[in-house]
Structure 1
C-alpha cells in the first residue's frame, strides 16, 4: 500500500517495490487541497501496471480541516513560536487512511516516500503503528541505493517511467502543499542568510504588491471553530479555501523559518499559510473576550507541548488526546464574531463581539463605574501580593542576602 503522488519519486518507488519486493502494489493518493490535478496520478499508476481497482484517490479536504486543522487551531498551536504546522498536521490523516485502505484490500505492508533525514518519515510511521501495531513499513529512501537524482532518472528511463521535461533537471527546491499551507525547502533555500527568490512563493503575492486599500472581513465562530465569513455559513474546507484567497490577495502568511527537526538537525523552510494566519489571529481575538484569564494562561502554557507533539508526529498519542480534551473544554463559550482588516501582509483585529463575552465596560471604564469596582480594595490586594517580597527585602536588609 503506497502513498502515491504520481511524481517522479513515488513513481520510481512504485516500480522499485514491484522489482525489489515482487509485490503487488496498491496506490493511495489523498486530496488535501494541494491544488494539483490528481487525474494524472491515476493514469500514471495504470500505466505502471496497477489495476484500476487497486488505485485509490480520495477527497479528504473536509475531514482534514474539520478533524485535524480545526482542533489544532483551537489550541493556537505554533511550533517554536512561528510555524503553523501545515505539513505536520496532514501526515496523521494520510497515515490513518492508508492503514484503513491497506486493511480493506488485505495489504501486509505500507510504504511512504519520505527521506531518512526529515520529519515526515517519523510522522507517517507513528500514524501507521498507532492504527495498526503489526503493520510492516517499507521506507525506500532508507533501503535503496538510488541516492541521487541522476540515479532516479536512470531507473525511471530503464523501466520506461515517463518524466516530465521540467523534472529532468535538478529541482531548485522541494515543495509540499495542502489546503492549510505550502512549504518550500532544500537546494537554493539551504543557506538561511540568502533571501528567497520571488519564484519560491506559491500561495501569496508579496506584501509590497498587495492592494493599497484594506480588505475588511468578519469571521463567525462557534465553540472555537470558524463557521461563517461575512455572515455566510461555510464548511471547514470552504472556510479555509476562502481565507486562503483573501490572504493570498493581501500578501498574508509568509514565514521564513529555521526550525529544529525531530531528527536533530536545523533546517530552513519558506512557509505560506495565508488562510491559517488569518484564522489564527481571529481565533485569538474571539478567545480574548470569551475565555477566563486562568484558562487562557493555562492554554498558553500547554500550547508549546501540544505543538511539539503535532510536529513530532504524535497526533494519535494519549497525551495529545488528553490535551485536546482540556483545550476543547476551554472552547465551550468561544462563540461570536471577529472583524479583521487585511492590509499588505498584516492581519489587524478591529472588532470582536460575543454573547458570552467576559468583557465589562462597567468594570474597565475610567468614568464613574457606579460602584461596580471599589478601587480602595486594590490596596489590600497589593499588600498581600507583596508580602513575600517585603519579607525577602527585610532579610536582605538584615543579612545582605
Structure 2
C-alpha cells in the first residue's frame, strides 16, 4: 500500500510537547490518567497554530511542581449527569511487543494510564502473563490482554491502532549500538512481518536499537509485504529530546515545563544533534556549554549503562519518552490538530532517506516534516550535521542490506 510522499513544511520554529503526568484525582476517585502538557513557549507560536481546545490550569504533577500551563489532555465526558465521576473517551488499541522486558514493563504501565486507550495488548516470548495480571489491577479504563509466543502474535496485533516495539536485547558496558545489530535486527524483522500481515494500517513505533538501522529494516519488510506507508513508521527518538530538555533546564536554571530543544539526525552517538540554537525559550550558550551539552546528550545512554554497571541500560527514561510519543500519536489519531514531535522517519530534508526532525502528527501519521529548524544553524551545528551524515548513511544502508540478504537467501 504505497503512500504519497510526506509534506515538508517550512515555517517558524515549532515547540514540541513537554509531558507532565497529572494525578487526575478529585473529590471522588477518577481514572488515573497520563497527561501531556505543552511548554509555555508554544503560546508565542502562531505560524502553524491549529484549532485546539486549550484550558489553562494549575496542577501539581508527579514531580512536585505547580505551574500554570496549557492542557491538551483528552476531554472527559460525563458518565452520568447526576454524579461528578468522569469517563474518558477510551477508543484506541495499543500493542506492546516485548512487554515483559526492562523497557516494556514500565512503558506498558505508563501507556495503561492513558484515557485514550480501550485495550492494551501485551506480547512477549515469555513472562508476559504476570505483567498483564499486575497491570490489569490498575483502575484505568483500558482492558489488558496478554499474548505469549509466536503462535499468539497474530491475535495480539489484530485490530490495533498503534504498535510499539521495545523488544530486543539491551546494551551492556562496552557494547556499542552497532553490537546490538545482529540480535535485534532479526527480532525487529520477525515482529514487523507479523505487523504487516495483521495490522498493516497501524502506526508503528520502533524503539529497538540501533534505531538508525531497525527503522530501515522495518521499512524494507513492509515494502516486501506491499503495505509500506512512510507516514506511519516512526523511530522513537523522543528520549534524545527529553534528555536535551532536562540537561538544558538544569544547566541554565530554567523551568523544565518551558524548555524545548529540537533534536535532529539519528539516535546514536554523533548522529544525535541537539539544536541548542533553536532552544525555547531563547537562551544564550557559550561555545564551551554548547560542546559540553551536545556531547552529554549524545552519550547519555552510555552514562546510564555505566552507572548501572552491567545491570542494564536506560529503561525508565526510555519508557517515559516512548509513552510520551505514544500519547502524542493517540492524540493525533483522536483529531488533535496541534501535535508535534521529533522522530526518525522517511524524510527529504537531507540527501539521506531517513532523518530525525520535528514532524506534525495527524490521523494518518506524519502530516508534515518541519524544515525551518534546519535553517539558520550555527557554524558548530552545520559542521556537526555534515559530520553525522556518513555514519547515519552507513547505518541506514546496513539495515536495508540486512533485509535484502535475508530475502535473497530465502529465495535460494
TM-score normalised over the length of structure 1: 0.29
TM-score relative to the length of structure 2: 0.28
Query: Which of structures 1 and 2 has the bigger CA Rg?
Result: 1
Higher helix content, 1 or 2? 1
